[in-house]
Structure 1
Amino acid sequence: MSRMGRDEATLSEDQKQLNNLLSILPGMFYRCHNDPEWTMQFVSEGCLDLTGYQPDDLVNNNRISYGDIVHVDDRQRVWDVVQAANEANTRFTVSYRIISADGEEKWVWEQGLVMPAGENELSQVEGIITDITELIQTEQALSEREARLRSIFLAAPVGIGIVSNRVLLDVNDRICEITGYSKNELVGKKSTILYPSQVEFDRVGVEKYKQIEEEGTGTVETQFKRKDGQLIDVLLSSTPIDPKDLLAGVTFTALDITDRKQAEKDILDYTRRIEALLEVDNLITSSLEIDQVLAFIMTELEKVITYDSTTVQLLRDNHLEVVAAYGFPRSERVEGIVFPLESEFPNFEVITTREVLALEDISQAYPHFRTEANKYLSAEICSWLGVPLISKGNIIGMLALDRTEINPFSKDEIRLVTAFANQAASALENARLFSDANRRLERLTSLSLIDDSISASLDLRETLNVFLGQVVTQLQVDAADVLLYKPDTQTLEYESGIGFRTSVLQHTRLRLGQSHAGLAALERRLIEIPDLNRVETDFPQLPQFTQEAFISYYGVPLIAKGDIVGVLEIFNRTCLEPDPEWNGFLNTLATQAAVAIDNATLYDELHRSNENLVAAYDATIEGWARALELRDQVTEEHARRVVDLVIKLASSFDISGEDLTHIRRGALLHDIGKMGVPDSILQKKGNLTDAEWDIMRQHTTFAYEMLKSVDYLRPALEIPLCHHEKWDGTGYPSGLTGEQIPLAARIFAVVDVFDALLSDRPYRKAWSKDKVLSHIRQQSGVHFDPEVVERFLKIILVD
């Protein structure tokens, strides 16, 4: 009896541990008949949270069968998966939808095993069902919010362990996989072995046991330190074996959430980049060149809506003129077409009503337009959309989109094109107002945001080399490579590889659907070939491929934001027999590779865009300086002549980088304030009166007022505002003395006077170089900073 009592106690303790384990594991454990109704024999307490039904409701179909809970569209698929696993005598996994007691549709993931049946008995199915609705909903929400962006997070199996008195009593295989230790290396050791530090171990313990005392279960996010030293993020859930005796130990689960954490970071980074790109789009609309604006409209519109051809028509007096066209066989013939503002044309209705006009078949509503259009166009126009271009309350033209088949534009499409047209209208209007310098400057203020958004370039090849090293190591395969998808040519091209004996695959270039990788990309599915020798394949036809001696092959499509970005190929020289965990990890690696490729591509595109915009901005500044010189012929070429010498002199003060760039811009714009000086004074041939000099001296403050609101140019304002200040305080506009005057202005002042005295003026002839240098020496400590003069003279004498 004593032994029987001990056995019963042991059994009770085991049952208690099992119950504790089931209570902390997510989802529902079950045992059921292998019949179409999935008649339940046992259901865990997780049933209520998952389905809304009590366990007794499902057992023996008392209230409802589990088969009735499964979504009607998924029932046959679930049945087929389970029966296939039964025939193969393997475990099965399947995801499908259920309808809970309150009518809510949920997504669940099920894993189980069909148990052999006795004679004249139904076979039994045992397994676990977990709720993955939140994951599915998250993916759908991200897809809608970020232009069909989807980020796939695959849940890893849960690690399980038992701890008592800070000693690991037992762990499952998943804990070993997560940490890199063997079971023998963990069991019997202090649980601190799992943590990166004693501090983190103590923090988790305090928080965990506080939750256990208050709620019965403790859940904490922490980090484990793998055997190789790598830190991984885990979600740790703990429940006491005996709630009344915490010293009896706890059971815990450890869910590896490293991928989720990284994915969340990647999504946040991606969102910020998308927002930055949208900002760039807005900035591009501030281009000052009409041709650039029209080209942008033509290329960007294709990203918004599907159409066959489009035109931009600007209002010219009593007619509309096509100034840009796209999608026509001979676009040059379309540009320049004039549409009179007459009621026989749909353009007239768009302009007069200032409203969008969408026509399912333009020939029915406006037959005369169809007749006129046929004079210029080889293709028939059927469905038509006209959107007014309105800027600041004024209609400046319209945007027309054509389809060559009857395919009406939807309300969503019309909204998108209308929003785009508003941007296009603003861009076109800004280009037309090029002569308004102040307005241009305000438009350029936002360009400075681009400098802050780009910090470094991503080396995709280096990233892929590291990635492929992990693929080969973690999946224990012989070789792997990544083929990048080239949208322009719709081909897959070799980018990086590891583990190959020859270079035969480095020349890979495949069309979509061609070979195994092309098929994986085209059909967006895993291509699995356990034995290359038993199937027809392109590989053996390649020279040197037989030297590789590959047997197994896997091709995994790399998908980011819903788009194919490449294919991961895996090769092994023996037959692979992967389990579901191996496949799950392979998919996780594929997701990481897709994100890396997408991030690198996105960063490179943004970097190139920024470089082009900065170059365009500096070219615009030089254009302003040139425009001012053309107006003030007295100082023609002056700004450009002084720039190089100012840069050289500033460099002698160890000024470099952005500071030197601001000095260059300030030098180019030093006299921009003269735009506010009347021509009668600026171009006067004789000497100026005192009153005229008072006005002329205001050009420094005019420049400051014009440019101060431009964040991008604010660091360059020191020269336009202060280049007429003097060392002894007798200059203008503020009478600054000595080092109160910014160094940039002190440097520029010397070069400005040097160049001016060497040039003819209406009121005097140019001085000789010796006379000018003598004058500068005399003004050292009076007009000029002595140190600047000293360095300037050294440069001039060397030159």
Structure 2
Amino acid sequence: MNENLTPQDVVIPLILLLSHTLLAIIVIARRGLREREPRVFVIYLACAAVWLLASSQNGLVGIWPAIPWQRVAVYALIVTGVLFWDFARAFLRGRSLVAGWVPAGVAVVGLALSDGGLFVVPPVQLPGGTRTLSGEELVSLLSAAIAALYAVTAIVTTLVEYVRRPSPLHRNRILYWWLSTLALVAGLALVFSPSEPLDLPGVGFHWLGGALLVYTIMQPQLPNIGTGLRGAVRYVLVTLLPTALALGAGLGAIYIGSQTPGSPLQVTENLLLGGAIAGGFVFLFYRPLSKLTHRAANRLLFGHSYETQAVVREYGQAVTQTLSLDEMAATAMETIDRALGIRHGALLVVEESSHSEWWLQVVGAGEVELEQESLVLSAGTPLADWLVKRGDPLHQYTLDVDPRFASMDDDERQAWRQLGMEVFFPIRKSDSFVGLLALGLRRSRRPYSTAELSLLETLADQTAVALENASLFDNAQRRAEQLALLNEIGQVITTSLDLAPALDLITDRTGSAFPGATGFIFLADDSEGGLVLESTFGRDAPKAKVVRVKTEQGLVGWVVAQKRAIVVPDPSRDSRYSKKIEGKLAPEAKSALCVPIVSQQEVIGAILLASPSRTALGPAELNLLDSIATFASIAIDNARQVAAREDSLRKQVAALRIEIDGIKRTEHVAEITDTDY
């Protein structure tokens, strides 16, 4: 150990090591290492600590002089730079790019080869010949340049994401990342400055940046920086401006009075009296001026230009006067838009529900192009627990960054993200979950304040009764349309005794009833057993080809064997799914229905319906398809009976012909034998 070490030479590295260790322990204790973001951050902290300790001017160099700390610092700096970039991507929920590690990998391999003596980095003379950089200095500069390149790339990446993401909550989180980075860089600049008194403040700044970054990772619900600044400005305005105005009015009154002939203030310079008059003005005018200032500040800084009671009253009257779900959604969004200035919104109405799932229909999305017009909430998932059990508002930002939703399926997360909404408010009636009020970004791009969220929760509660009435009306209309469809199919079936036209009508009407889906009708094969594909219909329907299905093979075989209709939210993950049948017929299916065609307790076929949308086919669609299958069984049964009768008649005719031919031959022989010859 170097005997010339000062206490500060030992304390600074020790503080750096302990501070980074403490931050890593906090992250591991609260978040663990299963997720990529905390895992990369902990590794970054470890590498950053090694680099800082190895780069300290005395510190470890004096404690363990045998270790080549300068070379360790070069390696650690490169790795720290690439980890900082990778952490920025993990922070933004981006995937790790292997290609991004290539420059750092090449640099580390080159250093290792140089240290192994395979080649020597030559000195380089600077332009002008003023100085020559040694090989060691050149390596240090190159490592610093590589680390700086990764740091700049990370900053540019966050800047691009800040511009690309319109959500104020996502932008606020990126602002915290920038503040943390600024504190880290400022701390490093102070630690490595030539002035020794700046070492401890530099360590403090650096640790503060790390602590703020840890807080950003640990706390999904971050206080909004913009809202905090506007709140501080409002506090200053509301506190100081009314006082200044009231005091100015009092002083003005004193001045005017002192200039007025005969006024008591003209003949006296009593400061106590002047102070009492000014204080009286402040007492009289402070409260009304404070209210006016508060209202003006709210409108100017937060965009509050509505009366809460008036909005609640107007909204309640508007939604209760409509019966159609589409009209109700449009009315609700218009009312909320006038008050808060929202870009768009929608109602998510529970169409069907069971003990394990809620099927939500998106109503009133307007001009937003949706990949899926319905969603599924599955019981036991974090999303269902939050919305159904807790009944709390949920921001899309929370879905994206909160660790409690890390286990969500990517398809499910994308299904909610494609709605383009900012916040979801559960709608409940008598403790029953009936839907969601979904709202997009505000036109001002400001986040929803606490008061606005409370107002919107009240509006969501008012929506419950109106939503139930509108749902009943909408269901009645849909049922009437389904009955008209079934009636049309029934009329054709009763007037047609041929299977081909009956199946053509069934496939045509079924395809119209389920737009975007592809259907397949299988019929029993009495000669070879099992089922054979008879016809196809719907979206991108392939041409009918010879496809045979054995009993209990695939979804179709299972339905035939069990004589049960099924809803399959994700066919490829269902144990009954067959790649040889459903995989070939509908490879892009994300949801499916399959119903048996039953006649006189005997399964004579099946109908398979597949959709590329995960939520397009649910219990309501299953009921309609089951009814269609019933009519199909009647058509098939009638056609088969007619075919059987025709076959019987043909056999009878053939038998009669044979019998007639026999009689004729007998008579002909008798004629021949009865002649004189």
By the TM > 0.5 criterion, same fold? no
Answer 1 or 2: which has greater helix percent: 2
Q: What is the TM-score normalised by the length of structure 1?
A: 0.25
Specify the structure having the higher radius of gyration (Cα). 2
- Higher RCO (CA 8 Å, separation ≥ 6 residues): 2
